Amino acid sequence: MNDPDEVVKGLEIIKELKKGPWPSYITETEKTRYPLKLYAASLYLKRDLWTTGGYVSVPGVPTGILMRVTSRPDIGESANVVRVYLPSGNFVTSKMLRNLADFADKYGVSMVHAITTSEDFEIPGIPKEKIRDFVAEFRATGMEVGSTGDAFRNTTTCVGPALCEYATFDTPKFRDDFYNRFNDYAKYPTFPHKLKLKISGCPLDCARASQKGDIAIIGSWEGAPLIIREKLKLLSEKEMLEIVNGCPTGAISLKNGELNIEGDLCTQCMKCVKLSKGSILPGEKKKYLLYVGGKLRGKKGPFTAKLVEKMDDPYQAFDIIERIINVYIENAARKERLGDMIFRIGMKNFLDLIEKEEKPYHIKDLRTNIFYKVSEEEKTKMLEELKKSLGGE
């Protein structure tokens, strides 16, 4: 049987995508049994040819397995994709990779998605009828599938202290511990919509926690960064001045060749650390910042995550996360991301719900109108506090 026109023309188009120096996913795909004709036709037609098929339910995988249904069975088959957890920090072994390849060959289309943007493996192209067997057999090799549905999605972290000297805590270990405590929330789809926790070991935020984390933990510190004097000495005057002038708050000064950082003014932006060639590191009094409400779409479009708590120990986050989960389940509408919910009810109310008092660090800027309510009790409280802080002069 001859291929339909759109496939013939489509295959011409994708030939083009094998050229060029950037690694070609088409070249890779040609080595697999993925239905390339379907994809080729969709490029020609400028139209997606897959439709969602919901989830296949599998014993022991309450969130189900994602289905892909072809809208052109004549040129490409439907199939499913299975997500596979990686060890924390995305460290893998060659054994693990070969195992994955074996399963992809046996059950899938000899393709591996390594890795997804949320840092899982995926094995695409597993027919519906083989899913149960796949899951049972695969698990027996010490691997786990999941990370779909309205549940706690894969938790991601930066590589942390395993490779990076900026890390303020062991981020991959934190993920391990997170799963020891919260695995049920990852397994059972009991949320209004997905929840994602992303973790970075320092404010450089290599895990993009501040952008993608419904809940984010970012390691930081209080006061001045740590100066390694003997290394600092190796810098030229010009390099020192660059550090001084780079500081956004003017916290750094240079007097008689001696660099000084006023901890009080430091906002932990890491600029000096970045410019210092290893001679300035995150400060010693660690702080761990818990943010909420980041995401890229939801109903209201992208939000960056907002700071809700400064902790002395990252593990203090666990109880707060538990509270946030409960508040989320109780207050969010269906398919409402945490950030949209907070937006709808207001940060003040959210803080009340998770039982936190408002602090200046909860805001980046202050209100610019006086259209608010002050109750008589609040008036009394305010007056007292103002007297306390201003009275003694």
Partner 1 sequence: MEGPPRPYTEYIHDMIKRNIGKWKEHRFVEPGIMEHISDNDKIYTIRVASTSNARYSTDTIRKFADLADKYFDGYMRFTGAFNPEFFAKTLEDAKKLKKDLESMGFPVGGWENHLWNITSCAGYFHCALAATDAPSIAKSLGDAVIKYFNKDELPAKFTLAVSGCPSACGGAYLADISIVGIHTEIPIVTENIKSCDLMGTAMICPVGAIQLKQAEKTIEIRENLCIGCGLCVGACSGIIFRTPEKTDGHAVIVGGKASSIPPGTQIGRVVIPFIPNDPPRYELTVKSVLRIIETWKKEAKKGERLIAWIERIGWEKFFEKTGIPFFKQSMDDLDLRSLMLLREGGGK
Figure out which of the listed residues 140, 366, 370, 390 binds its own copies, where binding follows CB under 8 A. 370
Residue 45: count of CB within 10 angstroms of its CB: 13
Site string for partner 1, 104-143 (x = CB under 8 A): xx----xxxxxxxxxx----x--------------x--xx
Rounded distance, CA 4 to CA 25, Å? 23
291 binds, among partner 1, its own copies, ligand SRM, none (CB under 5 to 8 A by kind): partner 1
Alpha carbons 364 and 338: distance in angstroms, whole number: 19
Does 202 bind ligand SF4 (CB under 6 A)? Our answer is: yes
CB of 302 to its own copies, least distance (A): 6
Positive or negative, the CA dihedral 325, 330, 331, 336 is positive
Among 130, 132, 299, 356, the residue binding partner 1 under the rule CB under 8 A is 299
* CB atoms closer than 10 angstroms to residue 11: 17
Q: Is 56 in the site for ligand SF4 (CB under 6 A)?
A: no
Q: Specify which residues 310 forms β-bridges with.
A: 289
Q: Are 175 and 199 in contact (CB under 8 A)?
A: yes
Q: Report the residue from 65, 75, 100, 243 that binds partner 1 according to the rule CB under 8 A.
A: 100
Residues 272-301 that bind its own copies (CB under 8 A): 300-301
Query: Hey, which residues between 144 and 183 contact ligand SRM (CB under 6 A)?
Result: 147, 153-154, 158-159, 163-164
Q: Which of 269, 307, 347, 351 binds ligand SF4 (CB under 6 A)?
A: 269
Among its own copies, ligand SRM, ligand SF4, none, partner that 199 touches (CB below 5 to 8 angstroms by kind)? none
Q: Which secondary-structure segment (H or E) carries 32? A: none
Instruction: List, as one string, the DSSP characters of 137-198.
Output: HHHTTT--B---SSSBPPPEE--GGGT-TT-SS-HHHHHHHHHHHHHHHHHS--SSS-B-EE
248 interacts with its own copies by CB under 8 A = no
Contact between 236 and its own copies by CB under 8 A: the answer reads no
Which of 75, 109, 167, 186 is close enough to bind ligand SF4 by CB under 6 A?
167
Looking from the CA of 48 toward its CB, the CA atoms found within 13 Å total: 5
Residue 106 backbone dihedrals phi, psi, to 5 degrees: -75, -45
Residue 82: CB minimum distance to ligand SRM, A? 11
Q: Out of 158, 186, 215, 305, which residue is the one contacting ligand SF4 (CB under 6 A)?
A: 158
Stretch that binds ligand SF4, among 84-92, 122-130, 158-166, 177-185 (CB under 6 A): 158-166
381 CB neighbour count, 10 Å cutoff? 12
Cβ distance to ligand SF4 smaller for residue 105 or 222: 222
Which lies closer to ligand SF4 via its Cβ, residue 2 or residue 375? 375
Using DSSP's 3-state secondary structure scheme, residue 63 falls into: strand
**Which is nearer to partner 1, 1 or 370 (by Cβ)?**
370
Distance, first Cα to last Cα, the chain: 93
C-beta of residue 4 within 8 angstroms of C-beta of residue 38: no
Q: How far is the CB of 152 from ligand SRM (least distance, A)?
A: 11
Please tell me whether the peptide bond between 329 and the residue prior to it is cis, using omega within 30 degrees of 0: no
Cα–Cα distances in angstroms (integers) from residue 137 to residues 57, 99, 178, 246, in the given order: 17, 11, 26, 56
- Applying CB under 6 A, which residues contact ligand SRM? 52, 66, 68, 81, 83, 116-118, 120, 147, 153-154, 158-159, 163-164, 196, 204-206, 208, 212, 274, 295-298, 337
Q: Which residues here bind ligand SF4, judged by CB under 6 A?
A: 158-160, 164, 166-167, 200-202, 204-206, 225, 246-249, 251-252, 261, 266-272
